[in-house]
Amino acid sequence: MDKENRAGLLSVVLPSYNEEASVPRAARTISELLAQAGVQHEIIFVDDGSRDGTWAAIQGQASLHPQVRGVRFSRNFGKEAAIFAGLAQARGDCAAVMDCDLQHPPEKVVEMYRLWQQGYQVVEGVKVSRGRENPLHTLAARAFYSVISGAMGVDMSKASDFKLLDRRAVDTLLALREKNAFFRALSSWIGFSTAQVEFEVQPRVAGESKWSIRSLVRYAITNIAAFSAAPLQLVTLLGTVVFVCSVALGMWSLWQKLTGQALEGFTTVILLQLFIGSILMVCLGIIGYYIGKIYEELKDRPRYILSEQCEGESEGGKAEKTL
Ligand code: UDP
Ligand code: MG
- Torsion of the alpha carbons at 184, 185, 190 and 193, rounded to the nearest 10: 60
Measuring from atom 21 of ligand 1, which residue has the nearest CA? 209
- pLDDT grade, residue 264 (50/70/90)? low
99, 103, 132: which to mutate for ligand 1, most atoms within 8 A of CB?
A: 99
What's the pLDDT band for 323 if we cut at 50, 70, 90?
low
- Which pLDDT tens digit goes with each residue over 25-34? 999 999 999 9
From the CA of 51, how far away is ligand 1's center (Å)? Answer: 14
Overall average pLDDT of the 243-263 stretch = 83
For residue 98, the CA-to-ligand 2 centroid distance in Å is 10
pLDDT-based confidence at residue 219 (cuts at 50, 70, 90):
confident
Share of residues in the chain with pLDDT > 90 (%): 30
Closest CA to 92 of 10, 151, 22: 10
Nearest in space to 137 (alpha carbons), one of 72, 215, 78 = 215
Residue 131's pLDDT is 61
Handedness of CA 241, 244, 250, 251 (dihedral sign): negative
pLDDT tens-digit map of 158-169? 778 899 999 999
Task: Report which ligand 1 atom has the smallest distance to the Cα of 204.
Answer: 19
Check residue 133 and give its pLDDT.
67
| Euclidean distance between CA atoms 32 and 51, whole angstroms | 28
Closest CA to 183 of 98, 91, 265, 104: 98
**Atom number in ligand 1 closest to CA 201:** 23
Whole-number Å distance, alpha carbon 78 to ligand 2 midpoint, is 14
Centroid of ligand 2 to alpha carbon of 240 (angstroms): 43
Helical spans, DSSP H, in 105-182: 107-117, 135-152, 167-175
Residue type, 176: L
Q: Is the pLDDT of residue 7 over 70?
A: yes
pLDDT band at 1 (very low <50, low <70, confident <90, very high): very low
- Residue list, CB under 5 A from ion ligand 2: 99, 101, 103
Cross-strand partners of 70: 45, 310
3-state helix, strand, coil in the chain (%, to 5): 50, 15, 35
Burial class from Cβ neighbours inside 10 Å (0-12, 13-18, 19+) for residue 274 reads exposed
Q: Please state, in angstroms and rounded to a whole number, the distance separating the CA atoms of residues 294 and 301.
A: 12
Average pLDDT, integer, range 105-128: 90
Q: What is the pLDDT of residues 35-47, one digit of tens each?
A: 898 888 999 999 9
Q: What CATH fold (topology level) applies to the domain 10-227+303-321?
A: Spore Coat Polysaccharide Biosynthesis Protein SpsA; Chain A (3.90.550)
The domain segmentation of the chain, as residue ranges, is: 10-227+303-321, 230-299
Give the strand pairing for 122-129 and 163-166.
antiparallel
pLDDT band at 15 (very low <50, low <70, confident <90, very high): very high
Average pLDDT value for the chain = 84
Phi, psi of 224 (to 5 degrees): -65, -45
Nearest residue to 65 (alpha-carbon basis) of 26, 93, 102, 37: 26
Ligand 1 pocket check: which of 210, 216, 303 to mutate, most ligand atoms within 8 Å of Cβ? 210
Per the DSSP assignment, residues forming a β-bridge with 265 are none
225 versus 207: which is more confidently predicted? 225
**pLDDT at residue 244, as a whole number:** 92
Instruction: Name the residue of 13, 16, 17, 138 to mutate for ligand 1: max ligand atoms within 8 A of Cβ.
Output: 17
Q: Any bridge partners for residue 200, and if so which?
A: 129
Which residues sit opposite 16 in a β-bridge?
A: 47
- Nearest ligand to the CA atom of 83: 1
CB within 6 Å of ligand 1 — which residues? 15-17, 19, 48, 76, 78-79, 82, 99-101, 103, 209-211
